[in-house]
């Protein structure tokens, strides 16, 4: 058996080959890194629309009388604020306040929550949640294999999706979801995404994925819709300064250090990690994730050493050329004294010290359409 | 399908070489630029730098990745295509023309015989992509 034979595939694997996807190993999954190329795919999402297969992400259901109590105790954000069909970005932290994973919490009803987690965390998150569920009247189910997840992203996403469903999509606000039929397939459609653009994530049964994928690409063709791979997904999320688990946060970093304090509601009552995060907040941070821009044409990439005040103070957490902004940008953990906007430092690019500067994030913010 | 002009010679690292007397002009092939995708940055050596055969003399970067460029022949850098600093997209648009990278003074002209012809290079790409 070769390594590739062990990789998992989504229900859209064959569709990717047909679309000319270049397949790579990502977190144990054989996924398309690109089709036409990261640059045209990135620009399509900013200016028209792109379609991503994100079926490698995991779906975990929490069902039962204590579903709310369990999810509230597992996550940093305040689940009590959610109404039926509402969606929330949140984190799971451990006792020491380290980030176990970031996730989306969907409240389907008060006894039914759906958690969408990173591909790399499916098994470990599921185990963690099951362990915490011991004294709760809930059933926790890892239903990842039964579902596919498509992300239709970009300013034209709504007009591309609308003809395929009877539900009026403009009635789904940002971070809300709805059970709707798309092309007769039962789906949960949410106005969410990881690109910094308007768009939808469409959760469907694995068996419906191929048909929906093909129909969307066909219907959206005239609007400029193209299939997009993981490379564009990464550059899009980085321009929007969305954190990537494993790069920008993990068990050794706290939500506050990762700049995700807005997802932590210390006043909501007890949750795992609360005390540690509270203590860190009172004590003050010694380091924090900062956004930077390279003042040179050389891109700074993941893992490149960072030099400030004459010494190496860390490595680039996420770094890349930004296709839409036409700059080289990144995120880096810095001692707090270096995180001031405008403060300058160096990135070591193959031994050459290249100047960079701390800037405001997000790097890119779409213009909202209020009509 | 990638373009491989007959009047050039090639390497298995996907560089092309145009030999003229004791000098050689070097760039990356059409096949290489297609594989890389949109080039966003090219890092090249300085005039006067000396390199041995197969030593990396620079790098070419796409949105996704950094690829090193290897010396097809031992020699000394005589000229660098500085235009690529502001217009790296020339590597995609005109890999055998305006997208050239360096011109070198060849140390040992006999090394030229080891380079691939356009037909040999095309066969090599076919074998590589069918793996």
Contacts of A141-147 spanning 24+ positions with Cβ under 8 A = A141/A60, A141/A61, A141/A63, A142/A58, A142/A59, A142/A60, A143/A59, A143/A60, A143/A61, A144/A57, A144/A58, A144/A59, A144/A60, A145/A206, A146/A59, A146/A205, A146/A206, A147/A55, A147/A59, A147/A203, A147/A204, A147/A205, A147/A206
Structure tokens at A274: 């609360």
Residues forming beta bridges with residue B50, ordered by sequence position: B76
Q: Does B83 touch chain A (CB under 8 A)?
A: no
| pLDDT number for residue A369 | 58
* Torsion of the alpha carbons at A77, A83, A85 and A86, rounded to the nearest 10: -40
Residue A362, preceding bond cis, omega within 30 degrees? yes
State the average pLDDT for chain A: 96
Which range is most confident: A1-5, A277-281, A333-337? A277-281
CB contact under 8 A, A350 and B64: no
pLDDT tier for residue A371 given thresholds of 50, 70 and 90: very low
Tell me which residue of A199, A206, A233, A177 sits closest to A21, measured CA to CA.
A233
State the average pLDDT for chain B: 96
Backbone angles phi, psi at B95, to 5 degrees: -60, -30
Q: Does B33 touch chain A (CB under 8 A)?
A: no
pTM for the model: 0.95
Min distance B39 CA to chain A CA atoms (Å): 10
pLDDT of A2 higher than 70: no
pLDDT tier for residue B131 given thresholds of 50, 70 and 90: low
Q: Looking at this predicted complex, what is its ipTM?
A: 0.90
pLDDT of A5 higher than 80: no
| pLDDT number for residue B2 | 86
- Average pLDDT (A94-119) is 98
Residues forming beta bridges with residue B42, ordered by sequence position: B60
pLDDT of B14 higher than 90: yes
| pLDDT number for residue B69 | 97
Give the C-alpha separation, A319 to B27, whole Å: 27
Q: Determine the number of helices (DSSP H) and then strands (DSSP E) in chain A.
A: 9, 19
CB contact under 8 A, A297 and B85: yes
Contact B125, B96 (CB under 8 A): no
pLDDT tier for residue A309 given thresholds of 50, 70 and 90: confident
pLDDT tier for residue B100 given thresholds of 50, 70 and 90: very high
| pLDDT number for residue B128 | 86
Establish, for the pair of chains A and B, how many residue pairs have beta carbons separated by less than 8 Å: 38
CB contact under 8 A, B63 and A42: yes
Taking CB atoms and an 8 Å cutoff, what residues of chain B touch A301? 66
pLDDT of A20 higher than 50: yes
pLDDT above 70 coverage of chain A, percent: 98
């Amino acid at each position: 058996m070769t390594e590739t034979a062990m990789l998992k595939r989504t229900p859209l694997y064959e569709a990717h080959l047909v679309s000319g996807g270049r397949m790579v190993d990502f977190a144990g999954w054989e996924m398309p890194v690109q089709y036409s190329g990261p640059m045209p795919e990135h620009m399509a999402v900013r200016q028209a629309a792109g379609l991503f297969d994100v079926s490698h992400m995991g779906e975990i259901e929490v069902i039962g009388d204590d579903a709310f109590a369990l999810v509230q105790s597992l996550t940093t954000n305040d689940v009590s604020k959610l109404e039926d069909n509402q969606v929330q970005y949140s984190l799971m932290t451990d006792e020491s306040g380290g980030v176990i994973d970031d996730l989306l919490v969907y409240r389907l009803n008060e006894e039914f929550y759906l958690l969408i987690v990173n591909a790399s965390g499916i098994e470990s998150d599921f185990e963690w949640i099951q362990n915490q569920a011991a004294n709760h009247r809930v059933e926790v189910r890892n239903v990842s294999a039964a579902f596919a997840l498509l992300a239709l992203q970009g300013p034209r996403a709504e007009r591309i999706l609308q003809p395929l469903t009877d539900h009026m999509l403009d009635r789904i606000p940002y971070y809300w979801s709805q059970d709707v039929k798309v092309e007769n397939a039962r789906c949960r459609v949410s106005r969410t995404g990881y690109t910094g653009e308007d768009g939808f994530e469409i959760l469907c049964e694995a068996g419906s994925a191929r048909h929906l994928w093909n129909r969307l690409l066909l219907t959206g063709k005239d609007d400029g819709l193209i299939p997009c791979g993981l490379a564009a997904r990464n550059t899009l999320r980085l321009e929007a300064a969305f954190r990537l688990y494993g790069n920008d946060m993990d068990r050794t970093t706290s939500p506050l250090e990762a700049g995700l304090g807005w997802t932590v509601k210390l006043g909501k009552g007890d949750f795992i990690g609360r005390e540690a995060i509270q203590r860190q907040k009172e004590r003050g941070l010694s380091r924090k994730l900062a956004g930077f821009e390279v003042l040179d044409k050389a891109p700074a990439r993941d893992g490149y050493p960072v030099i400030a005040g004459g010494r190496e103070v860390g490595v680039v957490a996420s770094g890349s050329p930004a296709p839409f902004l036409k700059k080289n940008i990144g995120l880096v953990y810095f001692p707090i004294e270096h995180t001031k906007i405008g403060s300058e430092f160096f990135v070591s690019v193959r031994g050459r010290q290249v100047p960079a500067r701390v800037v405001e994030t997000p790097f890119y913010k779409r213009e909202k359409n209020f009509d | 399908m990638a373009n491989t002009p007959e009047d050039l010679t090639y390497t298995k690292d996907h560089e092309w070489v145009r030999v003229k007397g004791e000098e050689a002009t070097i760039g990356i092939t059409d096949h290489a630029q297609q594989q890389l995708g949109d080039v966003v940055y090219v890092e090249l050596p300085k005039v006067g730098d000396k390199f041995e055969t197969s030593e990396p003399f620079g790098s070419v970067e796409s949105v996704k990745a950094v690829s090193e460029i290897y010396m097809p022949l031992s020699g000394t850098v005589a000229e660098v295509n500085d235009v690529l600093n502001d217009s790296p997209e020339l590597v995609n648009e005109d890999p055998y023309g305006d997208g050239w990278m360096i011109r070198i003074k060849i140390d040992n002209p006999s090394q030229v015989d080891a380079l691939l012809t356009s037909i040999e290079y095309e066969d090599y790409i076919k074998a590589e992509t069918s793996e």
